[in-house]
Structure 1
Amino acid sequence: MNTHEQRLDALRRELKVRGLDGFVVPISDEHMSEYVGGYAQRLAWLTGFGGSAGTAVVLTDAALTPAAAMFVDGRYTLQVRDQVDGRFYAYENVPATSIAKWLGEHVPAGAKIAYDPWLHGKGWVQAASRALTEKGAELVPVETNPIDAIWQDRPAPSSAPALVHEERYAGQASEAKRAQVSEWLAENGLDAAVISALDSIAWLLNVRGSDVERTPVTLSYVIARANGTADLFIEEAKVTPELRQHLGNAVRLAPRSGFLPALAQLAGQRVSVDPDNAVQAIFGALEAAGAEIVEHRDPTVLPKARKNAAEQSGHRAAQARDGAAETRFLHWLSVEGPRGGVDEITAAERLHQFRRDTGDLRDLSFDTISGAGPNGAIVHYRVSPETNRPLEPGSVFLVDSGGQYPDGTTDITRTVWVGPGEAPAEVKDRFTRVLKGMIALARAVFPKGTRGSQLDSLARQFLWQVGLDYQHGTGHGVGSFLSVHEGPQRIAKGAGGQAGTEQELLAGMILSDEPGYYKTGEYGIRIENLILVEEREIAGAEGEFLGFETLTLVPIERALVDRNLLSGDEVAWWNAYHARVLEVVGPLVDGEAKGWLEEQCRPL
C-alpha cells in the first residue's frame, strides 16, 4: 500500500469487515498532544497531510458524494490542497464548519460512524454524537484503531529513556510542585487528579524526554494523590537509575499499560480530570469504575505557564544564544541569497546548523517554516523536496523557526528581502504595517485582568486600516524547554470562544507577538518576537498594571521598512530594540557577522 489511494481503499475494506459506515481520523495521540510520535501519525500515513492540526472523515461507501473530507483551519487551507488528493477528499474549513456539523449533513440515517476514544476529547464526542443522533445515526467507539490493523510498518512508540530536568533550570523541586497539587486537591475536596498531558507530567515531575519530535517529553501518565504522592505509568525501559533517585519514594512507578487498571481502582473517589486535555477513554474508564469525576483545569497548567525567576533567567540566556545563531544565519543569507544559489531546504538546514553550533541545542522546537516567494504565503508551510523553491534574487523570504535548549524554548520569525534592488512599494507597505502591529503589542500596558482577546486588535489595526487581515492568532504561549505552543494564554480574536483567548494574562507568562500578512501566490510576511508578561510600576496608577518585556533579540529587516509610515514612538522603539540586540548578541558573534549586525542595528 504505497499510495494514499490504496491506503484509503484498505481502510474502507477494514471498516466493512467491522460493520462500520465511517471513521474519524484526527492528528492526535492518547495525550491530545499537538505534535505526536511517529506511531500516532495516522492521518499523515492515510492522507499525506503533514500539518500539525487536522482531521479526516472517511465514509465506507466510496460512492457517496463526498465520501471523505479533510478538515483544517485557516493556517492549512493552501497546504492541504498541495498534500491531500482532492479526487478523494473534500476540503473543509474550520471553524466555518465542524466535523459534527458535516457528519450531521452527510451521513445517512442508520449509519455507524466510529472513532477511537483514545484520540478524542469528551467535548468532541458529545458534539459528534448529538449531530449523528439527530440524523438517526450513531457514533460508536472502537476497541482497536482500524488504521493500526492495515498500517503494516507502523513505528513502535519510542523507548528512549526519560531524562531528569535539573532544578537549576526548573527553578523548583518536583516535591514542591507535587505539594502544590496536593494542597489544591485538598482545598477542592478531591482524592486524586489524572494528569495525562505530556508537558504537564514533564513539568510536575521535572522530567523531559525525546519521545515526540520537537517537544521534549516522555510517554507516560500520572495520577496525583491528595497525600502528596503520585503514580507514574511509564515503560520500564525508559526508567533509569537517575530517574528513580530523582523521583524518590513518593512517586510509585508502574508500566504504562497499568494506567487503565489503575483508573478502575478509583471507585468511589473524587477524581479531577481536565476535559481539555484528557481523552474520552479516560472519562469512560472512570465512569465504568464508579469514580466521581470532577471536571477541573489540570492543576499544573497555570503554574507551568507562569515562569519562575530561574525559568525567566534561563529563557533570556537561551534567547541570547539563539539570537546569535539566527544573526549568523541572516548574515550568511545576506551574502548567499543574492547570488541565487540558496533554496528553502538549504536555508532551513543552514539555520539548523547555526543552532547546533551553539553546543546546547537539543532539538528544533518545530519544523522550520522556510517559505520563498509564494510559499511564504502558506502560513504553516513545511518544505519538502517536491515543494522546494529557490530564494530568487528580488523576492521575499519568510523563515519561522525555533530551538529547544535545556534553559528555554525559542520561536522567531523574520521576513527578509533577498536582494539586489529595492523591494516593491506594496511589499514595504505591508511589512511596515505588520511591524507597526508587532510594536503596538510589544509596547502595550494594560490593567491586571486583561485577556488575550482584548489585546489582539492592537496588532491588526494597521492592516485593518487598508482592508487587510491575517487568518491566525497573534500570540501563543511558550513553554520552558517544553511545548512551543503552550496554554492556557493566547492572543487572538476570540471568535467562538477559542481556547485561551479569555485567559487573563498573568506576570511570568511568555507569549509570541506575531502579526502577519499573506498574499496568496506571491509572498508572505510575518514578524515574531517572544514577549514576557511583567508587572509595571506606574506613578499614580489606580490598580495593578502589566506590560511586556521583549525576549527575542534578532535584527528586523531594515530593507522592508517604509520609514514614512512609522511614528516617532515607533522609531524610538525600533532604535531601543536594536540597541539591545547589539548589546546582548554583539559579544556572541564576530568577524563579518559582527560587522553586519552593527550595520543592521544602527538607528533608523
Structure 2
Amino acid sequence: MQLEDTRFQSFTATTRPETGPPRLAALRDELARAGLDGFLVPRADAHQGEYVAPCDDRLAWLTGFTGSAGFCIALNDRAGLFVDGRYTAQARAQCDGDSFTVVDWPATRPAAWLQSALPEGGELGYDPWLYTPDQLAAYEAGLASTGITLRPVENLIDRIWPDRPDPPQGAVRVYPDALAGQSHDDKRARLAETLVAAGQTAAVITLPDSIAWLLNIRGSDIPRNPVPHGFAILHADGAVDLFMAEAKLSDTVRAHLGDAVHLHAPDLFGEALAALTGPVRLDRGSVPQWVADRLDEAGVDRQWGEDPCELPKARKTPAEISATREAHLRDGAAMCEFLAWYDAQSPGSLTEIDVVKKLESCRRATGKLLDISFDTIAGSGPNGALPHYRVSEDSNRVLHPGELLVLDSGGQYEDGTTDITRTLPVGDVTGPAERAAFTRVLKGMIAISRLRWPRGLAGRDLDAIARYHLWLADQDYAHGTGHGIGVHLCVHEGPQRISRASEVPLDPGMILSDEPGYYREGAFGIRIENILVVTPADPVAGGDGRDMLAFETLNFVPIDRRLIDTDLLDDPERAWIDAYHAACRTKIAARLSPEAQAWLDAATAPL
C-alpha cells in the first residue's frame, strides 16, 4: 500500500477543456487594459528547459493542452494553439474547440496566421523572460511587412491566475566527481579558456542542466528532471556567480562549490548583469531576451555564442559512459521482470494504469530508482497512436486482445538516465498491417544501430536512413528519430539529435535514442527505441582506413519476436536481432529472478 501512495506517476487529469473559455475571456480583458491586440503564450520558463514547473505551465493553464511543445497566440477574436504532428490529436482532445483553434505547426507559420488574422496590423505583447532572441528574431522577420509589431510586457497570464503555485524550492545535492569524471574546478577552468580564446570576459548560463553539469550538482525543482532553477555567470578566470535561492543550498553543497563559486539571491541577477564589463557571451537560442535587454540598457557589450556547457556536456566522459552502462543494465533487468509479468497475465485483464504501476514497481525494486525520467507512455489501441500519450483516470482503458501496446518509459538513477520503448502485443496480434508496420519500424531501428558514417556528419544526415523502409510503404512518423540523453540529467538533452532539423555533428561520447515509429490515428501505434552512444568505428578489413564513427548499444531488452514479419527481414537484419538477443541473455540473465530468466530464454530464442 505504501508503494501505491508514494509512486512517482499520478493519473489525475490536470486540466479540463471547460476551464479554457473563461480564462481566455479574462486574458482578453487584460489585452484591452494594456492596449494590445494579442498576447503570445509559449510553453516555456525563464530557463528555456523543455519541462516547466507548475508555476510556469501557463500554456496548460490557459488552454488545457499539456504537451511538452507548443504555443498559443491569443487575439481579441480568436486564439490559435500551435502544435506539431506529435500533439495534434491530443490538443484537440484537451482544448475547447470553440475557443482554441489547433494549428498545424510548423506547416503554418505564426507570421502567416497573424497576417490573416490581423490584416490591418496590430500590436502583440510578449514576456521577454519567456522568449529567446532567436525566437523573437524569427517573429520579427516574418512580420516585417505586415504592420504587426511586438511589445515586451509583464506576463498577462500571471495577472489572471489567482492560485498560481509558488516557484519551486527543491533541495540541491552534490553529484559525485567519480560519476562525472571531472571536478567542477576542472570544468570551470576548461570552459574559461574558451572565453579567453574568444576575447570574452564572461558567459551567461541560464539552462538548468548546463548549470547542474558545470557545477556537479543536481536539483529537484522539476519533476522527472534532476535540475535546480537558477542563473549563472561564468567569468574568464573560472569563477562563477550563481544566482539561486538560499534555501536550496545546504552546507554540504556550499562546501562542495567552494570559494570560486559566489552565491547570490536570484533577484540580484539583473544588477549583476549591469555591472559586467564586456564582451559577454550570450546563447541567442537559450538565453531570455530579458538578459540581452538588461545588458543593452547598461551599455555592456555582448556577443552571440553557444552556451559553453552544451557540447562538453554532450560529449560524455569515460566515467559517465561507464556509469550509464550500469544504469541501463539495471533498468533492463527491471524491464525484463516487468515483461515476464506482463506475458503471464491474461489478455484483457489489464488496464493502461495497471501497466504503468507495475513497471514503476519493478524499477523501484532495484533499490536505486530516484525518479522516473518522464511520465510513462502506455498507449493501447488508438491511444498508442498518440506519440506522447499520458494515461489519466479519464483516458484509462482496458488492453483488449488483438491490440498493440506502446510502452515508453525510463528511470532516473544516480549513475544514469534511461529511456526505452517496446511495442507489445495484447494476446495474439494477427493483423498484417500491424505486423508489417512493426517490421518496417524495426528495420529502421536496426539500420541506425548498425550504421557507420564519416566523422563530421550531423543528425540530419542520418535521419532518413531510419525512415527508408517506411517511406517505401508510404508511411512515416512526425517526430525525430532520436534525441540526446543526459547522465542523471534531462532525458531530452541537446544539442545532439537524429532529426532532419539537426545540424550538430555527432561526436564520440554523445548519447542518443534510436526510436523510429509509425502511428495510425484512431487505430494503433508502434515505436521501438534503444539508446546508443557514439564511438569511433572499428576498422574494416580491406577498407580505406577512413575516420568513421559508429554506435554502441547501451540497453538490452528483448524486442517482441511475435510481431516480426520475418519475411520482410534480410539476412544481416536477422543476424543483428539474434546477436542482440544473445547479448540480452549474456548481460541481463544473472540479474533476474528465476521466473524472469525463463521468460528471457524464450523471448530471445533465435529467429
Q: Secondary structure at the match of 1:215?
A: coil
Q: CA deviation at 1:395?
A: 0.9
Give the equivalent residue in structure 2 for 1:227: 237
Deviation per CA, 1:145-174: give whole Å up to 9, x if none: 111111111111111211111111111100
State TM-score, norm by structure 1: 0.95
Matches within 5 A, 1:312-323: 312-323=321-332
1:113 maps to a residue whose letter is L
Q: Distance in 1 between the 2:437 and 2:454 partners?
A: 30
Give the equivalent residue in structure 1 for 2:412: 404
State TM-score, norm by structure 2: 0.95
Q: CA deviation at 1:4?
A: 1.8
Give the equivalent residue in structure 2 for 1:370: 378
Give the equivalent residue in structure 2 for 1:510: 511
Give the equivalent residue in structure 1 for 2:587: 584
Matching residue within 221, 225, 246 for 2:256: 246
Deviation per CA, 1:185-243: give whole Å up to 9, x if none: 01110000001111100100001101011111001111000011110000011111011
Give the equivalent residue in structure 1 for 2:339: 330
Q: Distance in 1 between the 2:467 and 2:150 partners?
A: 41
Deviation per CA, 1:487-530: give whole Å up to 9, x if none: 111112x2xxx2xx111111100111111111111100000000
Q: Secondary structure at the match of 1:3?
A: helix
Give the equivalent residue in structure 2 for 1:303: 312
Matching residue within 534, 541, 544 for 2:544: 541
Give the equivalent residue in structure 1 for 2:186: 176
Q: CA deviation at 1:449?
A: 1.0
Contact map agreement 1:103 1:131 (CA 8 A) in 2: no
Give the equivalent residue in structure 2 for 1:271: 280
Give the equivalent residue in structure 2 for 1:558: 561
Q: Distance in 2 between the 1:272 and 1:439 partners?
A: 41
Which portions of structure 1, spanning 4 or more consecutive aligned residues, are displaced by more than 6 angstroms?
Answer: none
Aligned CA distance change for structure 1 residues 162 and 58 (closer, same or farther; 3 Å)? same
Q: Distance in 1 between the 2:432 and 2:104 partners?
A: 33
Q: CA deviation at 1:432?
A: 0.7
| 1:120 lines up with 2:118 in the alignment | no
Q: Distance in 2 between the 1:422 and 1:292 partners?
A: 63
Q: CA deviation at 1:133?
A: 4.8
Give the equivalent residue in structure 2 for 1:489: 496
Contact map agreement 1:121 1:278 (CA 8 A) in 2: yes
Give the equivalent residue in structure 1 for 2:289: 280
Contact map agreement 2:175 2:217 (CA 8 A) in 1: yes
Q: Distance in 2 between the 1:165 and 1:58 partners?
A: 42
Give the equivalent residue in structure 2 for 1:165: 175
1:363 maps to a residue whose letter is D
Number of equivalenced pairs: 589
Give the equivalent residue in structure 1 for 2:6: none
| 1:289 lines up with 2:298 in the alignment | yes
Matching residue within 539, 564, 578 for 1:575: 578
Q: Distance in 2 between the 1:104 and 1:289 partners?
A: 35
2:398 maps to a residue whose letter is P
Contact map agreement 2:135 2:285 (CA 8 A) in 1: no
Q: Secondary structure at the match of 2:588?
A: helix
Q: Secondary structure at the match of 1:546?
A: strand
| 1:107 lines up with 2:88 in the alignment | no
| 1:210 lines up with 2:213 in the alignment | no
Q: Distance in 2 between the 1:3 and 1:302 partners?
A: 42
Contact map agreement 1:301 1:487 (CA 8 A) in 2: yes
Give the equivalent residue in structure 1 for 2:91: 80
1:5 maps to a residue whose letter is P
1:545 maps to a residue whose letter is M
Q: Distance in 2 between the 1:17 and 1:447 partners?
A: 58
Matching residue within 447, 453, 458 for 2:454: 447
Matching residue within 123, 148, 156 for 1:146: 156
Q: Which stretches in structure 1 are left out of the alignment for 5+ residues?
A: none
Q: CA deviation at 1:285?
A: 1.0
2:578 maps to a residue whose letter is N
Q: Distance in 2 between the 1:130 and 1:336 partners?
A: 57
Matches within 5 A, 1:86-105: 86-105=97-116
Give the equivalent residue in structure 2 for 1:384: 392
Q: CA deviation at 1:108?
A: 4.8
Q: Distance in 2 between the 1:347 and 1:289 partners?
A: 56
2:49 maps to a residue whose letter is S
Q: Distance in 2 between the 1:129 and 1:105 partners?
A: 16
Matching residue within 456, 464, 468 for 2:471: 464
Give the equivalent residue in structure 1 for 2:12: none
Deviation per CA, 1:333-355: give whole Å up to 9, x if none: 112251x2211122112111111
Q: CA deviation at 1:137?
A: 2.8
Q: Distance in 1 between the 2:96 and 2:37 partners?
A: 21
Aligned CA distance change for structure 1 residues 316 and 337 (closer, same or farther; 3 Å)? farther
Give the equivalent residue in structure 2 for 1:395: 403
Matching residue within 238, 262, 268 for 1:258: 268
Contact map agreement 1:423 1:559 (CA 8 A) in 2: no
Contact map agreement 2:379 2:389 (CA 8 A) in 1: yes
Matches within 5 A, 1:34-49: 34-49=50-65
1:193 maps to a residue whose letter is A
Q: Distance in 2 between the 1:100 and 1:404 partners?
A: 40
Q: Distance in 1 between the 2:494 and 2:459 partners?
A: 12
2:51 maps to a residue whose letter is Y
Give the equivalent residue in structure 1 for 2:28: 12
Q: Distance in 2 between the 1:315 and 1:252 partners?
A: 31
Q: Distance in 2 between the 1:412 and 1:76 partners?
A: 20
Q: CA deviation at 1:132?
A: 4.1
Q: CA deviation at 1:100?
A: 2.9
Aligned CA distance change for structure 1 residues 27 and 422 (closer, same or farther; 3 Å)? closer
Q: CA deviation at 1:24?
A: 0.8
Q: Secondary structure at the match of 2:86?
A: helix
| 1:24 lines up with 2:18 in the alignment | no
Q: Distance in 2 between the 1:489 and 1:300 partners?
A: 13
Q: Secondary structure at the match of 1:549?
A: strand
Q: Distance in 2 between the 1:35 and 1:23 partners?
A: 22
Contact map agreement 2:140 2:149 (CA 8 A) in 1: yes
Contact map agreement 2:172 2:249 (CA 8 A) in 1: yes
Q: Distance in 2 between the 1:309 and 1:4 partners?
A: 49
Q: CA deviation at 1:116?
A: 0.5
Deviation per CA, 1:328-378: give whole Å up to 9, x if none: 11121112251x221112211211111111111111111111100011011
Aligned CA distance change for structure 1 residues 347 and 11 (closer, same or farther; 3 Å)? same
Q: Distance in 1 between the 2:180 and 2:91 partners?
A: 38
Q: CA deviation at 1:535?
A: 0.6
Q: Which stretches in structure 2 are left out of the alignment for 5+ residues?
A: 1-15
Q: Secondary structure at the match of 1:134?
A: coil
Q: CA deviation at 1:319?
A: 0.3
Q: Distance in 2 between the 1:552 and 1:452 partners?
A: 21
Aligned CA distance change for structure 1 residues 403 and 272 (closer, same or farther; 3 Å)? same
Aligned CA distance change for structure 1 residues 521 and 167 (closer, same or farther; 3 Å)? same
1:196 maps to a residue whose letter is T
Deviation per CA, 1:408-459: give whole Å up to 9, x if none: 111110001110x342122111111111110011000111112111111211
Matched residues, percent identical? 49
Q: Distance in 2 between the 1:58 and 1:122 partners?
A: 21
Q: Secondary structure at the match of 1:56?
A: strand
Give the equivalent residue in structure 2 for 1:347: 355
Q: Secondary structure at the match of 1:78?
A: helix
2:343 maps to a residue whose letter is S
Q: Secondary structure at the match of 2:483?
A: strand
